[in-house]
Amino acid sequence: MLEVSGISKSFGGLQAVSEASLKVSEGSIVSLIGPNGAGKTTLFAIISGFLKADSGTVNLYGDALGGLKPFQVCQMGMVRTFQITQPFAKLSILENIMIGAYARIQNPEDAAQEAYKVAEHVGIRVPLESSAADLNVAGRKRLELARALATQPKILLLDEVMAGLNPTEVEEILKVIREIRNSGITIFLIEHVMQAVMSLSDYTYVLNNGRLIASGTPKQVAADPQVIEAYLGQGASKLNQNPAIDA
Amino acid sequence: MNFQKPSWMILGTLILVLLPWILFSEFLISFAVIVLYSATIGHSWNILGGYAGQFSFGSVLFFGTGAYTSSVLQMNFGINPWIGLIAGILMGALVGAFVGFLSFRFGLRGSYFALITLAFAEAFRIIANTVEFTGAGMGIYIPLDQHPLNFQFEGRTGFYYVILALFLIATAITLKLENSRFGSRLKAIRENEDAAEALGINTFRLKMQAIMISGGIGASGGTFYAQYYLYIDPSIAYGVDKSVEMLLVSIIGGMGTVMGPFIGSLVLHLINEISRHFINAPGLSLVVYGVILVLIIGFLPKGLTGAFQSQKKVKRA
């Protein structure tokens, strides 16, 4: 459903993404991994309309997204979350999620109802009337997820929703993400937490220095010497036969 | 105390409607007129700055446009000022659209937006000072012809009801922002524009709508001012001090709240009257305003309205 082909983007002299092509098929969980600075978030920003690519195309259900603004991309059914959570801090949790719901719903009562439903779905257990600023990191990640989910997307782009969470919280959010997929929403995620990538994704792309260096199932990718070297440095793949990044 | 509860709102409206029968003195009624007028133009700033988060430093643009539109139409074309009021509101919205389009199209935010609005207000002041049909530097005197059909009243009470109506309309619009899709989405833009955009909000269009509503309300205050004092000139109509008054009443009362402009206006004008009573030094009120603004921003960033509400909300979730 989502097809990215030949995307390149440079900032001044820095080639952030070059010739990246990938595919996300309907109903799957696809992940994008890579070391810091690999260009993952840049690629996400291009796909969701926040940045304009220098070249290449993004297609959603066969429609080209080139030149569309983020809000239009959202209206077409693709929504992103932010790596650094961006809550509407002075508003209540409920209003935060309702704002997401308003993408498709006109009526405040219906939007509130949808918000309660989504909040329960992603496991926000604090009273929804409290302020979004009072949430801890895990809570904010959930809120970010809830807000995006409330827009009723067909495909969800998650930018490091697990960063900064403790293992229990990761476990909980993994469950939530699986449930979201099972409800029919395709998921494309950037992740650093390897445990998450390994157990969650159907297919994985690896980005390094702006280039896609490997793709395949998580197991294949983890065994790929190029990937190991990207993460651990040159020669690392020879030192350790086990998939090093799994450790 | 939550002033936004319907019972409070109805009680408050009732008191305001009956006020001329409670206050027998012309002085007190004219004080109430000033408070409501100031609150009305405060609403104009509050919708754009307090709700949509676009801090304008030149909202007097709308005020002056309203004042000049009705006055010019009346003096040069003999058009009734009531029609001038409507025309003024439309012109205010149009000027809002003009300034909004130029600034939002190019993504001006924060202090850049504040500066561009200030620049536009100054440009309009200079134009009004130069061209013939605004009476240039002489300004416009509207001849005395007291008749309700003429938007002129013998006593203060007539004016009071006109400004009360304008104030209540502006308040109703703001109240609608509290509990509507449009209002929530404006607040989302204020809190975080990128996140708002990611969630499917056409931030450009919404900001345009906000500045046009703000323009209309500000202009209604301007027409009222012209009819009330029967005189305007470029420095009244497009002077910086009105811009400051508009944002001051909102910030002191509490920006992004329905009652903020009213409470701010009441407090500000009370202080103004009291300080004038004790010390007769022109310009002193401006010093007092400055001190209050510093105190409010330092100690009550949510304004006086926020001070009432915060006691309830200290409990953390």
Beta pairing, strands A186-190 & A155-159: parallel
Query: What is the average per-residue pLDDT within B260-265?
Result: 93
Residue B273 within a domain: no
Structural domains counted in chain B? 1
In the prediction, which pLDDT does B147 show?
80
Strands (E), B79-175: 140-141
Least CB–CB distance from B187: residue in A91, A131, A147: A91
- In contact, A126 and A97? CB cutoff 8 Å: no
**CA B206 to CA B75: how far, in whole Å?**
36
Residue B189 lies in a domain: yes
- Phi then psi for residue A62, to 5 deg, are 85, -10
Asked if residue A245 has pLDDT above 70, the reply is no
For the cut 50, the answer to whether the pLDDT of residue B8 exceeds it is yes
Dist. CA A230–CA B52, nearest whole Å: 45
pTM summary value: 0.88
Please state whether beta strands A211-216 and A29-33 pair in parallel, antiparallel, or not at all (unpaired).
Answer: unpaired
Pick from A74, A102, A127: which is nearest to B185 by CB? A102
Chain B environment of A153 (Cβ under 8 Å) = none
Q: Does B197 touch chain A (CB under 8 A)?
A: yes
CB atoms < 10 A from the CB of A65, how many?
A: 20
Q: In the prediction, which pLDDT does A162 show?
A: 87
H helix and E strand count, chain A? 10, 10
CB atoms within 10 A of CB A26: 12
Q: What is the pLDDT, as a whole number, of residue B298? A: 85
Here the ipTM equals 0.86
Helix/strand/coil for A4: strand
At A62-90, the pLDDT tens digits run 888 888 999 999 999 999 999 888 999 99
The tokens of A48 are what?
């969701």
Q: Which of B191, B192, B199 sits opposite A74 (nearest CB)?
A: B199
B181 occurs within a structural domain? yes
Q: pLDDT tens digit string along B104-137? A: 998 888 889 999 999 999 999 999 988 888 888 7
Q: Within an 8 Å CB–CB cutoff, is residue B312 touching chain A?
A: no
Instruction: Supply the CATH number for residue A127's domain.
Output: 3.40.50.300
CA nearest A129 in B: which residue? B317
Q: How many residues does chain B have?
A: 317
A71 CB within 8 Å of a chain B CB? yes
B315 confidence band (pLDDT: 50, 70, 90): very low
Note the pLDDT of residue B314.
42
pLDDT digits (tens, 9 = 90+) for B50-85: 999 999 999 999 999 999 999 999 988 988 999 999
Helix residue spans in A25-92 (DSSP H):
40-47, 70-75
Q: What's the confidence (pLDDT) of residue A240? A: 55
Q: With cut-offs at 50, 70 and 90, classify the pLDDT of residue A246.
A: very low
Confirm whether B102 is domain-assigned. yes
Asked if the structure places residue B9 within a domain, the reply is no
A159 bridge partner residues: A190
- Can you give the residue range of the structural domain that contains A225? 2-246
Distance from CA of B212 to the nearest CA of A (A): 21
Q: How far is CA A231 from the centre of its chain?
A: 20
Q: Is residue B10 part of a domain?
A: no
Q: Using a CB-CB distance cutoff of 8 angstroms, which residues of chain A are in contact with residue B198?
A: 48, 50, 70-71, 74, 79-82, 148
Asked if B200 has any chain A CB less than 8 Å from its own CB, the reply is yes
- Per the model's pLDDT, the better-predicted residue between A125 and B94 turns out to be B94
Query: Which residue range(s) make up the domain with B114?
Result: 27-241
**Closest CA relative to residue B250, chosen from B118, B8, B19, B55:** B55
- Per the domain annotation, does B276 fall within a domain? no
Answer yes or no: is B4 within a domain: no
**pLDDT surpasses 70 at A244:** no
Task: Note every long-range contact of A216-225, with CB atoms under 8 Å and residues 24 or more positions apart, other chains counting.
Answer: A218/A31, A219/A243, A221/A33, A222/A194, A222/A198, A222/A246
Identify which has the larger pLDDT, A108 or A221. Answer: A108
| C-alpha closest to that of B253 among B310, B214, B301, B305 | B305
Mean predicted confidence (pLDDT) in A132-138: 90
Inter-residue contact A132 to A143 (CB < 8 Å): yes
Q: Which residue of A has its CA nearest to B191?
A: A88
pLDDT tens-digit readout, A179-222: 999 999 999 999 877 777 888 899 999 988 888 988 888 888 88
Is pLDDT above 50 for B317?
no
Query: Average pLDDT for residues B91-109, to the nearest whole number?
Result: 93
- Closest chain A C-alpha to B291 CA, distance in angstroms: 26
Residue A241, pLDDT score:
54
**Mean pLDDT to the nearest integer, B261-271:** 91
pLDDT digits (tens, 9 = 90+) for B271-308: 888 877 777 777 777 787 788 888 888 888 788 887 77
pLDDT tens for residues B165-220? 999 999 999 999 988 999 999 999 999 999 999 999 999 999 999 999 999 999 99
| Cβ pair A99, A93 in contact under 8 A | no
Residue of B267, B247, B308, B228 lying closest to B66 (CA atoms): B228
